Structure 1
């Protein structure tokens, strides 16, 4: 596990409590198509007018990534012939003993994944995997994260590692396959002009659980604007947050940062060499 300003980082294997709705065999298990609690009436109104197709897109392009030790989430962002490019977090794939990965696509098919590169050389908590298939899979449409504004609705999705229907029962979802898929509506809570660490600049209010790391974040048009990675940690109170450039956030800013989940903006990721090799 990488050192983080957040003790409750959304790392693979982090014990999280997940409440999934609509749990039925061989189908997706997803949260309600609405914003998380405590969002304003204005935001609820915005989300209610967003077509169901946005969630459908999210389901089709989101994949589950499994290794010998971990499980996490990812998103299909490119295709060349029969080869697909998957974006995820570096910390999702970092602890694999054999460096082999299974990628579970929306149709329930498991593909052998190959690691192309990870954050060791680019200072971002991202990794690129690829898999080959003669089947046709939807590719995420790329949005512009620089155009996001505070208060704008966001959809975050992925595959949480744990399910807990009550305090006395906790179940690992690894064997569930796609049935662990879950989604959460929230809003942009903060946009930083510098990174907390490893490229994290997009703060948002959605309900994120361990195992959703690497999962996509969409705007209201269903376009990819970031990936999940850091979970909120409000219990740390007024802990000072240090930015990657060495400067320290104010007390007020630190408290706000700790109250939000954090993602890596897609515009930042799109500047990497591995991106341009697959995506025009």
Structure 2
């Protein structure tokens, strides 16, 4: 018996499922319909993963477009203090002669923004901006350590690609998986490698986990056109095999790097997930091809018993 079959058998025998299989939807289209009808609630407090619809809503609410003389990039709303909002982005997004920029918020309003100069990010590809909103209130990102990720975990990258035109105000959310969790950072601080498509203009945008928390800052897309970004902070280089693997991936700077270097602006959430076998099982079940094996027959029931239905 395979490991997955053994896990499933264990959960069925333990009484996790109470409805007969034949009572549940047989088609993925029916499952998807059920999933998107669930009322949107805070996935983090719910201690449950988010639906794709919720993840996109969260990502859009915390991601801004940063406009400079030479183009645009993305940023994440990191902190609110009164009318002042702080945004984290990549330093290379702000590489212009001016320290003044425009920020477009999720509601389409433009604000004048200034770079915060007195933060030392020690060579990491990070920068902070601030803007003032006297009328509108904006969502602030929920943060989490990238150390909570494991290889193969689902990730969601968001931002405003410069080469994409769509009806959705150019906002893009892509799906992928964690492929590399480097113990030592590259020269610019990048450590998390993932398979998501990250396009030019999405630099500075959030990398989210399945709970809708920001675990990293996008900044390096796959297949770089020039230079060799795959050099570690200490000057050493990955093996040829690892470097070839890295070139196929996008990379993010871990959120804990920001929290460590700019503690006045970023703090990691104190909410702790119950890392029991059941939670691990749900993550494993929802995002892997295990669902196809079972024809997705029991998944809607799992959703119906989550705290989404208890609001």
Please indicate, yes or no, whether the TM-score normalized by the shorter chain is above 0.5.
Answer: yes
| Matched-pair contact (CA < 8 Å) for 2:50–2:211 | no
Bigger proportion of residues as helix: 2
**TM-superposition CA deviations, 1:174-195 (whole Å, max 9, x none):** xx99711111010111000011
**CA RMSD, aligned part only?**
2.5
**TM-superposition CA deviations, 1:122-142 (whole Å, max 9, x none):** 211000000011211000001
- Matched residue count: 218
TM normalised by structure 2 equals 0.65
2:90 equivalent in structure 1? 89
Alignment partners' CA distance in 2, 1:240 and 1:69: 22
Q: 1:183 aligns with which of 157, 170, 173?
A: 173
Alignment partners' CA distance in 2, 1:64 and 1:118: 23
TM normalised by structure 1 equals 0.72
Alignment partners' CA distance in 2, 1:107 and 1:234: 33
Q: Find out whether 1:224 has 2:214 as its counterpart.
A: yes
Structure 1 residues 185 and 245: alpha-carbon distance in aligned structure 2, compared to 1, 3 A threshold: same
Q: Find out whether 1:254 has 2:243 as its counterpart.
A: yes
1:265 equivalent in structure 2? 254
| Matched-pair contact (CA < 8 Å) for 1:225–1:265 | yes
**TM-superposition CA deviations, 1:30-88 (whole Å, max 9, x none):** xxxxxxxxxxxxxxxxxx97352121010011000001222100010111111001000
1:17 equivalent in structure 2? none
Gaps of 5+ in 1: 1-47, 164-172
Structure 1 residues 223 and 121: alpha-carbon distance in aligned structure 2, compared to 1, 3 A threshold: closer
Alignment partners' CA distance in 2, 1:62 and 1:75: 5
Structure 1 residues 101 and 202: alpha-carbon distance in aligned structure 2, compared to 1, 3 A threshold: same
Bigger proportion of residues as strand: 1
| Matched-pair contact (CA < 8 Å) for 2:142–2:213 | yes
Correspondences of 1:24-173 after superposition (within 5 Å): 50-95=51-96, 97-117=97-117, 122-134=122-134, 135-163=136-164
